[in-house]
Structure 1
Amino acid sequence: MSGIIQNRDTFLNKIANQLNRAPKREIEQPTWQYQPQDRVLQDATQDELVAVLQEQCHNIHTNLVVTNTANLSGALQRVVESFGGRSVVTWKDDRFHKYGLSKLMNEQWPQADIELHVWNYEQPEENIRQAEKANIGITISEITLAESGTAVLFSDKDKGRSVSFLPEKSIILIPKSTIVPRMTQAARWIREKIKSGEKVASCINFITGPSNSADIEMILVVGVHGPIKATYIVIEDQ
């Protein structure tokens, strides 16, 4: 149900009268002479953006793995094993099947005693319980910021936000094509989706590596309010 703005015209007219000018009904977005937000990594290729992301991952205590679709299953398995296996929670996302991960998740993991829970919007309490006890959460980035090492996750009924912050470890799959220079491009991308009438998640999470906090005496503490370890897996999809 859409919200209703009460007494908008009366309010705007009152402000305009106080400023001794006619009320404006349309506002034009200004065109700035200088736009430094677009210059950072403006001409970088996707390979160069991957290199920037890799360097930033070192700064944010995040491991970065680069692979392709054919080798993704093996790369993911190695990361899961390095994190100790045991239990995994994931979104219900068709892209896992698209990337050829169905056999790994649905056959190989049960055989290796790795428990898998796939998000089910019809079982909200069970989803949270499984995410709380899971060793690893696996998600997929919609758009990825090379400059800051930030993955952008869109939540919906099949993609619970708890998957990215309740488990002890986080694995985020990053299609190479989603990597952009910085927040500038991400904000513009989201805005264009909204302008075109596309449904955009009400909850958008910007995740930069594992949980970090240095609020007390500038001492870095990892894992205060989220995963203590994180790995990004960049998938060559171009």
Structure 2
Amino acid sequence: MRGKEAFMRNISSRLGRREPLAEAPSRPFIGVPDFYRERTRTQDELIDEFIQSWTALSGKTLVVDEAEAPQAVEAYIRQLAGELGIKRISRWEHEGLEKLGFDQSLNEAGIEVVAWREGGADHIELGGLPTGPDGNWARRSHLLHAAEQCRLGVVWPDCAIANTSTLALFSQGGKGRSVSLLTEAIVAVFRADQIVYRMGEAFALFKKQFPNVTDMPSSLNLITGPSRSADIENDLTIGIHGPGKVHAIILK
């Protein structure tokens, strides 16, 4: 006996069956089971669950009153930059971050801010190019050069998922992937009403915002705690393929 039949019989024997199934097994649920779909949380419960899961992954969280957000967010970023010795940060070109208006005050404090938009890094004097003046890296945009030399990124997620403490980032326009992937630390600022309970709700939001394939952003990034990578011997390393330090500021 060879081929597909032998393969299926081997699987069946491993499962304790004498013969492979003649018919496909029943599938009572398609998508989320009703008992799970009907499970709801209040806004305070969503915040608490997100913080609990985020903290378990070594993330840091700050909950502030939305009216006090401009001062609180600026102070948090300034303190974090001071602790890590950071002199340059990048941020999304997002309406929520624009309203916080921390660029000027941070610049005055000696912390350069690179906004992810055309011309957003014109005021930045770059360090040396790693590939020299004739390498491929040197031919990339000034904005990308500047973002690659930032150590802290500030983003505004499209939503946050409570039961996995995941940030969902729809990369499009002024919401560049480089801001959340190239830096060694990120600060995610978002409102409490942007927290959903389960992963499927984030995908539903994505589908609702971008019903047509041609309008979809270049990527949907899901960030659950700091970057974790392990080799074949299970040696865990933090911060290799993304930020090693993650911070969330929830505006309530």
Q: Figure out how many residues of one structure are paired with residues of the other and give that number.
A: 203
Equivalent residue for 1:200, pick from 200, 203, 216:
216
Q: 1:130 and 1:221 mapped to 2: Cα distance?
A: 26
The residue aligned with 2:21 is: none
Give 1:213 shift: 1.7
TM (norm. structure 1) is 0.76
Q: Residue 68 of structure 2 aligns with which residue? A: 71
In structure 2, what residue type is equivalent to 1:105?
A: D
Matches within 5 A, 1:87-102: 87-98=88-99, 101-102=100-101
The residue type paired with residue 184 of structure 2 is E
1:174 corresponds to which residue?
190
In structure 1, the partner of 2:225 is 209
Structure 2 stretches of 5 or more lacking a match? Answer: 1-26, 122-139
Distance 1:196 1:214 in 2: 37
Q: What is the DSSP-based 3-state SS (H/G/I as helix, E as strand, rest coil) of the residue aligned with 1:209?
A: coil
For residue 52 of structure 1, report the CA deviation from its aligned partner: 0.6
Q: Which residue of 2 aligns with 1:83?
A: 81
Kindly indicate whether the alpha-carbon contact (under 8 Å) linking 1:83 and 1:169 is maintained by their aligned counterparts in 2: no
Q: Secondary structure at the match of 1:83?
A: helix
Residues 194/158 of structure 1: CA separation in 2 closer, same or farther (3 Å cut): closer
Match of 2:41, SS? coil
* Distance in 1 separating the partners of 2:40 and 2:191: 20
State the identity %: 28
Structure 2 counterpart of 1:25: none
Distance in 2 of aligned mates of 1:198 and 1:74: 39
What's the TM-score once normalised by structure 2's chain length? 0.72
Q: Does 1:139 align with 2:155?
A: yes
SS in 1 for 2:249: strand
2:250 is equivalent to residue 234 of structure 1: yes
**Do the aligned partners of residues 229 and 36 (structure 1) sit closer, same or farther apart at CA in structure 2, a change above 3 Å counting?**
same
Cα distance in 1 for residues equivalent to 2:187 and 2:159: 15
Partners of 2:40 and 2:197 within 8 A in 1: no
Structure 1 Cα separation of the partners of residues 92 and 197 of structure 2: 26
Tell me if 1:45 matches 2:70: no
Which amino acid in structure 2 is aligned with residue 186 of structure 1? A
Match of 1:112?
109
Q: Which runs of 5+ in 1 are unaligned?
A: 1-29
SS of the residue 1:39 aligns to = helix
Per the alignment, residue 62 of structure 1 pairs with 59
Picking from 228, 237, 250, the partner of 1:221 is 237
CA distance in 1, matches of 2:30, 2:150: 51
Do the aligned partners of residues 153 and 35 (structure 1) sit closer, same or farther apart at CA in structure 2, a change above 3 Å counting?
A: closer
More off after superposition, 79-88 vs 183-192: 79-88
In structure 2, C-alpha distance between the alignment counterparts of 1:193 and 1:92, rounded to whole Å: 18
1:145-167 per-residue CA deviation (whole Å, 9 max, x = no partner) reads 11111111111222211000111
Structure showing greater Rg = 2
Deviations 1:30-81 (A, max 9, x none): 9948843761782211110111101101221110111122222233233322
Q: 1:43 to 1:186 in 2, by over 3 A?
A: same
RMSD value, Cα: 2.6
Question: Relative to 1, partners in 2 of residues 1:206 and 1:111: Cα closer, same or farther, differing over 3 Å?
Answer: same
2:158 corresponds to 1:157 = no
The structure-2 alpha-carbon separation of the partners of 1:97 and 1:214, relative to structure 1 and needing over 3 Å to count, comes to: same
Give the distance between the partners of 1:37 and 1:165, measured in 2 at CA. 36
CA drift of 1:199 comes to 3.9
1:89/1:35 Cα in 2 relative to 1: closer, same or farther (>3 Å)?
closer
Q: Give the Cα separation in 2 of the matches to 1:173 and 1:179.
A: 12
